[in-house]
Structure 1
């Protein structure tokens, strides 16, 4: 159980600092960093900051420079303050210059000349806001300003990355002052390296850093040196952080590697005089809109483009409004939304510069050559459909010399229409035609999207295969179908198929199935669902039937309204405000509705990560099908850290029975996107058989209490335990998806036993957590149901770390089989207790703990004794530290160490009057060197220290 290998400080924290030093970051030890800040209540390296700000802004006085520091250290302690900090870092904030009688932008960072900045890295960055103290493991500073926080965890720590993220969340809650100015955080355990934006601590928002288009897995050194490359880190902060507003709430994101890669390629293509086309395929749900916005922003502010025009072409009113709100929030100025064909024509004729947001239909009958400038850049959303037909011709003839960059969330299909899209946008990038590609498989691997599974309902609920084939799948005009309006026109002609789908007896049965499936499979997981009906009439019919099986508030109909609708359709018309509320409530786990009944609306552009299941009762194919089912591919994590295992499509039509025909794409492009749930059932069975052989067999022959003992004994080996944790997590994910399928019946008892083993081990592990955070919902319910009659009892008592326990351990009254568990518990407690001590002492404690851990395999008893001694030392130093702080003695590190050295010199001071007398005298001599204290004050402090130390000797300290 060696802790040297993969230990946090030596294997993760120190290498990050060393690699950063090798690429030009200057290391500042914690003590020196504290002096540069003034004290632990300050954030900025004051003198360094003043020197650089005066260099970068010669018009500033020193007094004004100090005012800027005050403003940065007194930002609003929330995300709004963080936005202000970013504006300062990007040089967008003004200061009034008295001698010039005007306001001027000030620069805190030299963005153009990167090496004209000062780059520092420090560790154990202690910050106190008067209420709480935090100590991020590593902080990176530019020109004295803390920019990036790094939290590291040892490789061997179970759920280490989750613990690191929890630590980042705690920093936000306890000391938001530091987080108001910092822009990026990193968490790493050596094996993984993830980054995110401060004020966005959702696991969903984290990105794993990757080297650009590298197929090989980078090593830790490469990751650190590329991520913390000086030029890159400044670019990440100034170009790739976005603040957006959604429903009036400010949100923050930092772009992922694939988005950054695409933006850089778009800028390169825009500067290429020979190539004026490009096609970006980033799979649905991977942040295509943000990529477009940042690309537009960079083109507009780049002087190389000589005051350009950027046209963002979207194809939905809804997306147009959504896009415009985001654009305003990120600070792009000079934006025009073309309100009509006439307005757009006026903008182009008047040679409007800046950003124009419009839709493709507004180019209808636009005069050819209306603007022939070359520095016009058209960013086309959903390019596979936006530029099809005559509208695309009008667009390109109107702007003949523009550069066109197409974006698509789905791969290009294999039809003639798909080929024309490649010709339009991909001609400069043979052989595949993509300027940049982020495939479905990549997004699932990165966790940007989740795996999709589908299941077919029984035959009597599905439509007739021959009719589906004849009236839909075999229709030539349906091939490569790219928009829902065209789909509806085709379905309108499929009279028999539609009548079959809307047969009232069938709708009753489908509604009953949906209600039962939702209650049994979806609701227990805490997720929500879509019911996609063939048309608006079917939506209304389904609502009537669902209300017979579920509470009416569980479901809502959302579709477009028509003034000529009959009463049965008008019944479900929604005002804009009401629809907005319904949509927002749907994204919240504790609010209704739980099921949205839709046919057109919300099948594109609607992002609800809590959406898990789609009941598909509308024939779809190709792009329309991919876009629709992508609604359920968004990652989601609940408040307990339980992640959505996948997205599920329940097919009532039979589309997934013939996927090759329904999805006319290259197989490599859609490989692994959606899998038959029957394959998952087979995989679950295989894993359960493996579990029976490897784990259930361990305890099969033992009685109840001995069975648990046998399991615990087997998993004392840390490598075995970690392997089991990984195995169970994978198995649990499958169980959550499949339960309560009857096919699991033969495995439920064994799965419960595996859950019991997992919980028992977790209770005894050093990263002890509650069941609700460790077990997913269905598994937790299974355990609770069993434990009402079959209580899970850990083999051994969980020792309370108090004086009695320590005495018992020292007297060797504990069996050897428990020593490893108790060792881990004490080590974990030391890690917690040391947080209240100064950084240099914490480092020393960590080093001692690591050395003791290395000894454990060779001599358990000796190492346990040493660890108990370290635990006592930590608590003694805490008492000394607290007493000195209360007496306003600054920088007490050296004093604490000296007093502790004296205590070790007199180990029996609490039993011998002579040793106590000598202890008092020598502590007095140490404090005598503090010039601010008089003789009586020193005597009082010595007495208080001794009395406080006696109390912890006599009074057990609870865990």
Structure 2
């Protein structure tokens, strides 16, 4: 196993891996021509390669006083990804799509910084610049610190990087000035990202400029135009979470933009993500055989992969499933093998409403709060020399409010001296908990909060953070060692949520090597299935068939229940961010009323037929409606075959 030190420090020198990876695992693959590590002297240490590493990749790390404290050296996958990306752009031109699937712990911040600078300085064989500017998007907190510092640190010439924020002037004006002024790299937040995309698309179409757009896993809540576009690519469940304070990522914004418009010539898109969604894979993945149609054996795959498995085996992140325990299993272990009562799957709206009531019932929450607090004190809190923190993940903002109130009450009764915070977006109206709407800054919830929750939670006075959608993604706190899950998780959401725990931590001789997850709502099989998708590399089982939508539309159009004007009216109301619920209801009501009257007419016809002793005709009346035969809207009777 080839290694390199971060710096020489005698017996305390820490060596980091510099391996190619072995089919998704750590190490190096078998070399049929010699040593597994031959790539070091054959490729990495070759004259041109080594000079490039010294000249373009190595950069100094400085402390707050700007004193040099070390050097940043690329890991193998960072060097490999950026070099392959540069070669692909030179070969394919400035209109490509590239999906970089790099796990948490991959050093994505530096990878993005290197990519931005390499593409900004890239010239073709005629010595002409490939890109006029490179646009980089990240979240607001990272832009202020890590990513911006990395990009500026790698800057060789002062003044080539511009940062677009919400504070100084109009976003569109700042962007236009930066892009027109020849800034090589323009860094923006996810909030300004839609403006940046529109600007580069307009400039590419009108002035012939060429751009590279780099998006990382930034997460943020979205409103207005960006939110309306997202309705085209997010599922109903994801949209509901967004409305309940959830957050979306830069890849969602990219996917929405790509779905809304055809790919613009002269723009390359590079998406960095550890957990690509199916839509992202379809839009930015690459078919092994580009000339052949999409299908089994020729499905889109990422351009470059650094897997979760390799990151775990190389020690950069933790395996959060090592101490994952569903509560049903914990109950059996505690009760000597006794099984919990199985609950039926929620099959109807009535059952869902009942289960929601059960989850919100004070007694039910109080029982779980006691379990969580006692487990935290016994198993999690002693970790990291007493500094370990935990997160509670619940279904809704109302649940988050009630959990916080119940947890504060339990802790006070026990005189435990634990500090808790609750994070959610907007206001929560819950008259059972209090007469006034609750917000994050409500004294009844977060009385000790000082400023931003991210920053406050870092302090030693806070131990448990309760979240509902907010902070389930894009929240990095290395001291997190415990998680308590009281909501259904599936697929990518399960991976992103539980991965809040996987960040490594080492300080003062204390190393994070243990995490605990206690899950009240999911099975081990479902969670394992979700993680398996991203453990080595994301794979598509199939590609969405666009003809399915067209076929369904043709069937619905043929029924005659609505006309084009009514469809357009609903679409305008649904996509207008300023539209009220009343306008949407007014657009849908005529069609719904027509259908309901038709259904009632069919039922009346069925009852009349059965009363006349004609069961066959009665059954035919209802079946015709159910299978989609149109009804006459003027007389509300079935048309003859």
Q: Does 1:239 align with 2:56?
A: yes
The residue number in structure 1 matching 2:30 is 216
Q: Extract unaligned runs of 5+ from structure 2.
A: 23-27, 218-249, 293-297, 332-339, 430-435, 540-641
**C-alpha distance in structure 1 between counterparts of 2:378 and 2:392, whole Å:** 16
Report the 3-state secondary structure (helix = DSSP H, G, I; strand = E; otherwise coil) of the residue aligned with 2:364.
Answer: helix
Among 106, 113, 132, the alignment partner of 1:293 is 113
Post-superposition offset of 1:431 = 5.0
Change (3 A) 1:576 1:467: farther
Q: Does 1:438 align with 2:306?
A: yes
Post-superposition offset of 1:345 = 6.0
The residue number in structure 1 matching 2:204 is 371
Aligned pairs for 1:78-93 within 5 A = none
Among 361, 379, 382, the alignment partner of 2:194 is 361
**C-alpha distance in structure 1 between counterparts of 2:62 and 2:397, whole Å:** 32
Q: Does 1:422 align with 2:272?
A: no
The residue number in structure 1 matching 2:328 is 458
Among 75, 80, 90, the alignment partner of 1:271 is 90
**C-alpha distance in structure 1 between counterparts of 2:163 and 2:418, whole Å:** 38
Answer 1 or 2: which has greater helix percent. 1
**C-alpha distance in structure 2 between counterparts of 1:406 and 1:226, whole Å:** 27
Among 252, 260, 271, the alignment partner of 2:79 is 260
The residue number in structure 1 matching 2:626 is none
Q: Extract unaligned runs of 5+ from structure 1.
A: 1-190, 472-492, 586-590, 672-959
The residue number in structure 1 matching 2:151 is 327
Report the 3-state secondary structure (helix = DSSP H, G, I; strand = E; otherwise coil) of the residue aligned with 2:537.
Answer: helix
Deviations 1:893-930 (A, max 9, x none): xxxxxxxxxxxxxxxxxxxxxxxxxxxxxxxxxxxxxx
Report the 3-state secondary structure (helix = DSSP H, G, I; strand = E; otherwise coil) of the residue aligned with 2:203.
Answer: coil
The structure showing larger relative contact order (alpha-carbon pairs under 8 Å, at least 6 residues apart) is: 2
**C-alpha distance in structure 2 between counterparts of 1:622 and 1:356, whole Å:** 33
Change (3 A) 1:464 1:385: farther
Report the 3-state secondary structure (helix = DSSP H, G, I; strand = E; otherwise coil) of the residue aligned with 1:654.
Answer: coil
**C-alpha distance in structure 2 between counterparts of 1:263 and 1:521, whole Å:** 42
**C-alpha distance in structure 2 between counterparts of 1:327 and 1:201, whole Å:** 33
Change (3 A) 1:634 1:267: same
Report the 3-state secondary structure (helix = DSSP H, G, I; strand = E; otherwise coil) of the residue aligned with 1:635.
Answer: coil
Report the 3-state secondary structure (helix = DSSP H, G, I; strand = E; otherwise coil) of the residue aligned with 1:450.
Answer: coil
Among 269, 275, 287, the alignment partner of 1:404 is 269
Does the 8 A contact of 2:401 with 2:422 survive in 1? no
Deviations 1:230-283 (A, max 9, x none): 544443343334556899998864332112211112221222235722111012
**C-alpha distance in structure 1 between counterparts of 2:10 and 2:216, whole Å:** 27
The residue number in structure 2 matching 1:306 is 129
**C-alpha distance in structure 1 between counterparts of 2:21 and 2:483, whole Å:** 35
Report the 3-state secondary structure (helix = DSSP H, G, I; strand = E; otherwise coil) of the residue aligned with 1:645.
Answer: coil
Q: Does 1:535 align with 2:412?
A: no
Change (3 A) 1:273 1:639: same
Post-superposition offset of 1:659 = 3.6
**C-alpha distance in structure 2 between counterparts of 1:609 and 1:540, whole Å:** 25
Does the 8 A contact of 2:17 with 2:314 survive in 1? yes
The residue number in structure 1 matching 2:464 is 595
Does the 8 A contact of 1:193 with 1:208 survive in 2? yes
**C-alpha distance in structure 2 between counterparts of 1:366 and 1:438, whole Å:** 32
Post-superposition offset of 1:432 = 4.4
Post-superposition offset of 1:456 = 0.3
Aligned pairs for 1:620-635 within 5 A = 620-635=489-504
Change (3 A) 1:449 1:402: same
Report the 3-state secondary structure (helix = DSSP H, G, I; strand = E; otherwise coil) of the residue aligned with 2:91.
Answer: coil
Deviations 1:612-652 (A, max 9, x none): 22112233322222222111112233533x54334432212
Change (3 A) 1:620 1:665: same
Does the 8 A contact of 1:311 with 1:376 survive in 2? yes
**C-alpha distance in structure 1 between counterparts of 2:59 and 2:290, whole Å:** 32
Deviations 1:81-122 (A, max 9, x none): xxxxxxxxxxxxxxxxxxxxxxxxxxxxxxxxxxxxxxxxxx
Among 632, 643, 653, the alignment partner of 2:521 is 653
Post-superposition offset of 1:224 = 6.5
Change (3 A) 1:500 1:314: farther
Aligned pairs for 1:708-723 within 5 A = none
Does the 8 A contact of 1:284 with 1:627 survive in 2? no
**C-alpha distance in structure 2 between counterparts of 1:540 and 1:546, whole Å:** 10
Change (3 A) 1:425 1:501: farther
Change (3 A) 1:448 1:336: same
Report the 3-state secondary structure (helix = DSSP H, G, I; strand = E; otherwise coil) of the residue aligned with 2:518.
Answer: strand
The residue number in structure 1 matching 2:180 is 350
Q: Does 1:317 align with 2:132?
A: no
The residue number in structure 1 matching 2:581 is none
**C-alpha distance in structure 1 between counterparts of 2:422 and 2:289, whole Å:** 37
**C-alpha distance in structure 2 between counterparts of 1:288 and 1:500, whole Å:** 42
Q: Which structure has the greater CA radius of gyration?
A: 1
The residue number in structure 1 matching 2:456 is 582
Report the 3-state secondary structure (helix = DSSP H, G, I; strand = E; otherwise coil) of the residue aligned with 2:398.
Answer: helix
**C-alpha distance in structure 1 between counterparts of 2:310 and 2:319, whole Å:** 11
Post-superposition offset of 1:408 = 1.4
Does the 8 A contact of 1:308 with 1:353 survive in 2? no
Change (3 A) 1:465 1:605: same
Deviations 1:588-621 (A, max 9, x none): xxx3322222233433333332322211223332
The residue number in structure 1 matching 2:604 is none
Does the 8 A contact of 1:554 with 1:592 survive in 2? yes
The residue number in structure 2 matching 1:392 is 258
Report the 3-state secondary structure (helix = DSSP H, G, I; strand = E; otherwise coil) of the residue aligned with 1:616.
Answer: strand
Change (3 A) 1:535 1:463: farther
Change (3 A) 1:200 1:256: farther
**C-alpha distance in structure 1 between counterparts of 2:518 and 2:424, whole Å:** 24
**C-alpha distance in structure 2 between counterparts of 1:200 and 1:551, whole Å:** 48
**C-alpha distance in structure 1 between counterparts of 2:305 and 2:280, whole Å:** 19
**C-alpha distance in structure 2 between counterparts of 1:666 and 1:403, whole Å:** 25
Pairs aligned (count)? 449
Worse overlay, 427-436 or 378-387: 427-436
**C-alpha distance in structure 2 between counterparts of 1:654 and 1:212, whole Å:** 32
Does the 8 A contact of 1:374 with 1:403 survive in 2? no
Change (3 A) 1:466 1:267: farther
The residue number in structure 1 matching 2:551 is none
